[in-house]
Amino acid sequence: MNDDPQWPIDGHTAATQFLQQLAQPVSANDTPHQRASLRHAYLLFGPQGVGKRTLARVFARAVLCTHAQQRPCGHCRACQLMARDNHPDFRVIQPIDKNGAIDRIGGMLRVEQAAEIIHDVALRPMEGQYKVFLIQDMHMANDGFANKLLKTLEEPPAFALFCVTALDRNDLLPTIVSRCQVLELRPLAPETIVAALMQKWQVAEVEATLLGRLARGRLGWAVNQAQQSDKTDQRLAQLQTLWQLSAADPVERLLFAEKSASTFTSRHLFAMIDLWTTWWRDVLLVQSGCVESCSNIDQTAVLQRQADAVPSKIVRDYLRTLQRIETYLQHTINTRLALEVLILKLPLVSA
């Protein structure tokens, strides 16, 4: 973990140190190598919940900080405004639905948002030296947004700085990626997540250990689970549903899909895919003799029974199906079809 309280980033040491150095004020005694100048755009990519937004916001706070020596200082007016999410020179752009409400699951970055950015970027900063734009989930941008923003990303005013986040650089237009300094944030080690949960969020060791395994390297996901007391019960209920459907015949499965279709949103389906992917990966790990690497460490007996009951080829095929459905859902809103495929292709486990 980073020992600097103003850079509270767990893991991602190389990316953090790189941005930390860039954000510090230039001293007359610095060597040319130490005087690395800020670029106009940075792309942070990695899995959902891995820490992209956290690092981008800390970097933005440091860039906007006015302290003469150490940035962010946490005390100047700029730092105080950032702490209250009220800095006039910092703007966050997120995917929205058709009604303009923020929706980071089923929404998208739309052309009208790009037009607003282009208008705002032409106006000089109100408080300090820079204006910082954090564009989240660039992989959810429609073609109009991406194409309209290209010129601004290529030749922005000297005072404009863009932080862009995405799941995978391959999901973006190459012309967008080429205009950014690219930083990859990889999944964290389970022990890093466990230590952070225990030290920063006072999570009990047993719960932290389980969440550290289930998180698949995503500290943000683990923190969200730890802060909602009902999440543990929800997970067990969802696993019970998975086990029941695995033992059900096609008619029962279709009835469940029909009943659930009216209430399931993209958000529900993405959460289900995440849970089911983790489960069937664990089943495959048990089949491979790697029980110690499983995520669902509180359900090893059930994992063993299902590993004995389902051929490994069927498990691998279903994991590929889960991946295809997740990709499909990023480009469509037909949740009913996705839900039916998800359930009908579920491996059969005799009760």
Q: What is the pTM of this model?
A: 0.87
Q: pLDDT digits over 340-350, tens only?
A: 999 999 999 98
Instruction: Note the pLDDT of residue 33.
Output: 42
Split at pLDDT 50, 70, 90, the class of 35 is: very low
Q: By three-state DSSP, how is residue 137 classified?
A: coil
Tens of pLDDT, residues 214-247: 999 999 999 999 998 788 889 999 999 999 999 9
Average pLDDT over every residue of 286-305: 96
Residue 326 pLDDT: 87
Least confident of 82-96, 128-142, 330-344: 330-344
Q: Would you say 78 and 65 are in contact if contact means Cβ atoms under 8 Å apart?
A: yes
Give me the residue spans of the domains in the chain: 13-184, 228-344
Q: Say which CATH class 13-184 falls into.
A: alpha beta
Q: What is the DSSP letter of 135?
A: E
DSSP 133: E
In whole angstroms, give the CA distance from residue 341 to residue 344: 5
Question: Strands, DSSP E only, in the chain?
Answer: 41-45, 90-93, 131-135, 160-166, 181-184
Place 7 in a pLDDT band, splitting at 50, 70 and 90.
very high
Give whole-number Cα distances, 220 to 55, 160, 212, 258, 271, in Å.
12, 28, 11, 33, 14
In angstroms, the CA 3 to CA 98 distance is 43
Task: Kindly report the CATH number that applies to the domain delimited by 228-344.
Answer: 1.20.272
On the 0-12 / 13-18 / 19+ scale of CB atoms within 10 A, 70 is middle
Instruction: Write the pLDDT tens digit of every residue in 100-109.
Output: 999 888 889 9
Closest listed residue to residue 43, CA positions, set 154, 136, 149: 136
| Residue 110 main-chain phi, psi, to 5 deg | -110, 160
Q: Please say whether the beta carbons of 95 and 109 come within 8 A.
A: yes
Of residues 33 and 299, more confidence is placed in 299
Instruction: Report the C-alpha gap between 196 and 2 in whole angstroms.
Output: 11
Angle at 12 between CA 205 and CA 150, to 5 degrees: 135
DSSP string, 7-64: S---S-HHHHHHHHHHHSPPPTT--GGG-PPPPSEEEEE-STTSSHHHHHHHHHHHHH
C-alpha 76/C-alpha 209 separation (Å) is: 38
- The predicted structure's pLDDT at residue 187: 96
Helix axes 190-200, 219-227, angle to 10 degrees: 40
Place of tokens 């489960």: 279
Using DSSP, how many helices (H) and how many strands (E) does the chain show? 15, 5
Burial 11-39 (b: 16+ CB within 10 A, else e): bbeebbebbbebbbeeeeeeeeeeeeeee
* Structure letter (DSSP) for residue 347: P
